[in-house]
Amino acid sequence: MPLPQQYESVLGFATTIVAVAGVAVIGRTMTGAMAEQLAGHHSIPPEDLRRIADKYGWWAARRAEASVPHMDVEACEREAKRLYEVIKYRR
């Protein structure tokens, strides 16, 4: 049974909405899985990161962690101190 002309455009629009929603759900699932894998990653031990963050701030500690070699706690602390001082003196 053929559909009337006015129902054909509504059916096409509804199909498009369902397809977009399906792609969004798949993308959200994939992004959530990747975020769970990366959530536990630290390049220095978490207790050292917390100690550095208490001294120089969370922003400086995380930024320093991202820019130093893996498991180099002393370099991370030096970089966090440098970042903290730069921000402090620019204000």
Task: Show me where the domains of the chain are located.
Answer: 1-41, 43-91
Q: Residue 33's CB: how many other CB atoms inside 10 A? A: 9
Give pTM, 2 decimals: 0.56
| pLDDT tens-digit readout, 41-89 | 678 898 999 999 999 999 999 999 989 988 899 999 999 999 999 998 9
The answer on pLDDT for 31 being more than 80 is no
DSSP of the chain: -PPPHHHHHHHHHHHHHHHHHHHHHHHHHHHHHHHHHHHT--SS-HHHHHHHHHHH-HHHHHHHHHHS-TT-HHHHHHHHHHHHHHHHHH-
